[in-house]
Chains A and B, each alone.
Chain A
């Protein structure tokens, strides 16, 4: 039965997904697009309303910029304040092709690095636009008061991140995401004061409302009172962040969820490349079963830290007792030209390989060392403190260990979702009027995201791209009827959301939500993370389906729906993660190749590198939801300007 279901999924019906990539040479596409796109006069903009779900970099950027343009905006987030969106946690930095370091950088090089970093599984035109808009974005944030690191002379400083050989990363100590988000949050509040944005914190989107095929509103749960509320608008923008909490243990915040995009998927938005998820090589290792989250140690540490494991298996000596010639600096050994700055997918897989081979260190033997001894000798303790002081402090707070005197213990962890709602060049999903920006879409990163490209993507999506594309849709909407919350579709969606919640509360089983989340996490981590196999994925799908049935018959949630109920919130988010997990495994199963973060053990070279198969798999998978099943559509990738090559960092 399982097989027949699998083949049904594999019955690939080719659909033409219109990516709406504009004509012209790659460096003119965005300009050509803007020249042809429809405009709306200021008086009419006032009459148009947009819902923005999310207040992270992408959501706050979208909401404040659309408000400046004159649209009427409602913005939602589940935290108590917009300032807490998980963009706040990004440490390392943001890329831009400014070429301030005079080291040969350019828009084209950044475009190429990003495309190659993603293992040639993203759309050329989008990736180029990301690089093109990166420089003005730095201007923008400096103007808004972001205290980026400076040279003594007052100019901006850069550092390197994985997968590139130039210095194009801008940073604000180890708190870059926080500083960018606080700037965006301030701008959002500027527009709240101007009465152009209405913000709804502690509000969670439970469903999308589609009327006559177009996105026209959302159903929201007020997390303080539990009340379900309806909001209508001329267009809806989802900016709800990543879904790596599907693995349970990840670097994401506890509240991060896949629910908003999952509900949109069920209402017709195609889900692209769900299995492309990034495992970050340098997080703190898991130390107990009760662990709820794994803290990231920024990739920037790999600029100066050296990664190693003991040469000898099961070596129990303390790191400082292991002499130099008995250490294996495996990244420097395997990838001499990039060394410790190999891209994330490669660094994570290499760590897993060493750990699985019995060279892991730490109490649970699940970690590798990140060592600053040489850097401290070379640059002095003060320089290292200046560069990474707050990261070392954080490490000490969490582990109680001083990493200036002994190496850090680090381990690979779920971190970022390249996959997300399929969007065209305008960032519109397959549901007209529904847009997706930031981490929740699939747009620029292909099969692997380069470090410091994601703050960039979330910000340019919100500040520069969407405000220039949404007008092309809204210009026609001005003629349609004003959206109304009394429409039967609102009624229906609210009713379904209410029933969904009641059903969860009525189960009254014997196991907690966290129990089921831990189980889901184990399956996903085992079978759908750093390395995947056909058998493993098939089993995972069966196991997750069993888990889904167990959840719906045996979960226990106390309290009621009409109050603040954090247990209930966890439950409905998990219900969606379980379904998403099935789609992720299904996606990983159909892709009989290895590319970027998607590594299928059956498809590797003799020396264990990813074996890509361009003839058969040079497409973006885009899944359509069909009553519990998923139908695959393909957006064939055309490489007009860059010829895909074997991705090598050796």
Chain B
């Protein structure tokens, strides 16, 4: 199988980037998309060229480190997968495949396809934890949590922090990411004590990082590898309203 990759190359944050085309031959349908890029990089080395920088680590859809725009869609042509889970069987011989980094003001490009997503970490830092120290926990079964509540918390907690939601949103909004984390913790009995503070601080930090507003198109839910529901956004918004009204 032979394809042409049209890839965004940018040497550093300040450089002016551009698309460059590369033909790669000898690929097979079983190869993952990232393995095809690996192959391209090996070819580049042998041609004495610098390799393309792109991100990955686990290559099994859970660490959230990979993520590029492929033919105009975050993580490629399928719904709810990561870039590392995409396989070449999704393309046909002779295809031209355009590959770009996440484009969002809050995710500046570092090099080629690599962006800086530390804004997400700062949102977590602003309140996504339960403030109790190691060694202070009560017996685990002393606070029963009904299955539906635990399941709902798990649904929200499944986020892998890849940033596809932001990258795919026309406003570069991070509300899916932020609301999912807030709902995970605020729904659990252990997280209730800090629920209001968490909501306030995390949404504040989200705005501070320059992420845009949500206009409810639902595009994020489709690209989210974990299929995190946009119901999280509605739930967060209603808690926010409640907070404002009772304050």
Contacts and interface: CB of A to CB of B under 8 A. Distances in A.
19 contacts: A68-B133, A81-B65, A86-B57, A86-B58, A89-B63, A143-B136, A144-B137, A145-B153, A147-B151, A151-B147, A172-B157, A173-B158, A175-B158, A186-B124, A189-B129, A253-B59, A400-B89, A558-B44, A567-B41
B169 interface: no
A253 B58 CA distance: 4
Nearest to B161: A83
A86 B121 CA distance: 17
Nearest to B110: A224
A46 interface: no
Contact of A144 (B50, B63, B81, B130): B130
Given A145-B191, A186-B129, A140 B134 contact: yes
Interface stretch (A32-40, A287-295, A307-315, A590-598): A287-295
A495 B200 CA distance: 48
A487 interface: no
B112 to A, nearest CB: 9
B129 A187 contact: yes
Nearest to B185: A145
Interface string A117-149: 000000000000000000010111011110111
Interface stretch (B24-32, B95-103, B210-218, B239-247): B24-32
B63 A139 contact: no
B118 A80 contact: yes
Nearest to A182: B157
Interface in A224-259: 224, 253-255
Interface in A131-190: 136, 138-140, 142-145, 147-156, 172-173, 175, 178-179, 182, 185-187, 189-190
A7 interface: no
Interface in A3-21: none
A100 B126 contact: no
Given A193-B126, A291-B35, A156 B57 contact: no
B38 A155 contact: no
A142 B137 contact: yes
Contact of A290 (B39, B50, B144): B39
A61 B135 CA distance: 12
B9 interface: no
A88 B63 CA distance: 6
A145 B184 contact: yes
Given A143-B138, A190-B131, A564 B63 contact: no
Contact of A147 (B128, B131, B153): B153
Given A84-B64, A145-B190, A147-B150, A139 B139 contact: yes
B63 A154 contact: no
Interface in B29-66: 30-32, 34-35, 38-39, 41-42, 44-46, 48-51, 53, 55-65
Contacts of B46: 510, 512, 556
A449 interface: no
Interface in B129-171: 129-141, 143-147, 150-151, 153-154, 157-158, 160-161
Contacts of B157: 145, 147, 172, 179, 182
Contact of B110 (A144, A190, A557, A564): A564
Nearest to B50: A559
A564 to B, nearest CB: 5
Contacts of B154: 147, 172-173, 175, 179
Interface in A273-287: 287
Given A143-B190, A156-B140, A255 B57 contact: yes
A577 interface: no
Given A193-B125, A288-B31, A84 B132 contact: no
A381 interface: no
A143 B130 CA distance: 8
Interface residues of B, number: 78
Nearest to A255: B57
A290 B37 CA distance: 11
The 9 A-B pairs at the shortest CB distance, nearest first, are namely: A154-B144, A143-B137, A186-B129, A147-B154, A139-B137, A147-B153, A150-B150, A84-B63, A253-B57
B45 A68 contact: no
B130 A290 contact: no
A512 B39 CA distance: 11
B32 A292 contact: yes
A290 B28 contact: yes
Given A100-B141, A292-B38, 8 more contacts: A143-B190, A145-B185, A151-B147, A154-B145, A182-B157, A293-B59, A558-B51, A564-B53
Interface string B169-207: 000000000000000110010110000000000000000
A566 interface: yes
A397 interface: yes
A443 interface: no
Contact of B34 (A153, A192, A292): A292
Contacts of B45: 512, 556-558, 567
Contact of B60 (A89, A138, A187, A557): A89
A359 interface: no
B93 interface: no
A429 to B, nearest CB: 23
Contacts of B138: 139, 143
A558 B59 contact: no
A599 interface: no
A98 B135 CA distance: 17
Contacts of A155: 141, 144
Contact of B118 (A81, A556, A557, A563): A81
A175 B58 CA distance: 13
B69 interface: no
Contacts of B188: 145, 147
A142 B87 contact: no
B116 interface: yes
B62 A559 contact: no
A113 interface: no
Contacts of A65: 134
A467 interface: yes
A354 to B, nearest CB: 24
A138 B38 contact: no
A154 B147 contact: yes
A359 to B, nearest CB: 23
A79 B110 contact: no
A577 B3 CA distance: 33
Nearest to A397: B85
A293 B61 CA distance: 12
A425 interface: no
A61 B134 CA distance: 9
A149 B130 contact: no
B157 to A, nearest CB: 5
Contacts of A192: 125
A407 B12 CA distance: 48
B125 A566 contact: no
B114 interface: yes
A253 B125 contact: no
A464 B87 CA distance: 42
Given A79-B65, A394-B60, A567-B51, A148 B120 contact: no
B224 to A, nearest CB: 14
A68 B141 CA distance: 25
A67 to B, nearest CB: 10
Contacts of B139: 139
Contacts of B34: 292
A150 B147 contact: yes
Contacts of B81: 397
Nearest to A295: B60
B35 A398 contact: no
A503 B56 CA distance: 27
